[in-house]
Amino acid sequence: MNVNLQVIKKSIKLTKKFKKQYFARIYISAKLNNTIITITDVCGNTIISYSCGRSKQWKGKRSIKAISQEISEQLGLRLRNEFKTKNVKILIKGFGRGRESSILGFIQSGLKIVSIIDTTSFPHNGCKKIGA
């Protein structure tokens, strides 16, 4: 029986070490009217999801740079303190006003950014013109 308890204690210690070395992905969708920030783990399970339109401080102004920076800084602090995350990979989509300011917010929160990838889709040749 003593052997089984020692094995269980070792497995608990390993899970605690794994939680300290946590890695997350941040998806930023910056549209013209709104900025949506979703934080997931490595498997793709959503940890935190927040929209700039949900903040009551700025009332209806969802596309302001300052609000996306403030919200991303708060989410970064929450991610670092509650979930013990240090390393982050950022994936940006869209061409809205909150692109760069949200990255600055995550930098100010103290997270280590491993990579920044732009996944904005754009047409290579576009649609064929009518009559051409």
For the entire predicted model, the pTM comes to 0.76
pLDDT at residue 2 tops 80: no
Task: Report how far residue 38's alpha carbon sits from residue 28's, in angstroms, rounded to the nearest whole number.
Answer: 7
132: tokens are: 């051409």
| Helices assigned H by DSSP within the chain | 2-20, 65-82, 99-108
Question: Cα dist. 71→21, 75, 81 in Å?
Answer: 24, 6, 15
Query: What are the two backbone dihedrals, phi and then psi, of residue 24, each rounded to the nearest 5 degrees?
Result: -135, 160
User: What integer pLDDT is reported at residue 17 of this predicted model?
Assistant: 43
User: What integer pLDDT is reported at residue 7 of this predicted model?
Assistant: 44
User: What integer pLDDT is reported at residue 29 of this predicted model?
Assistant: 93
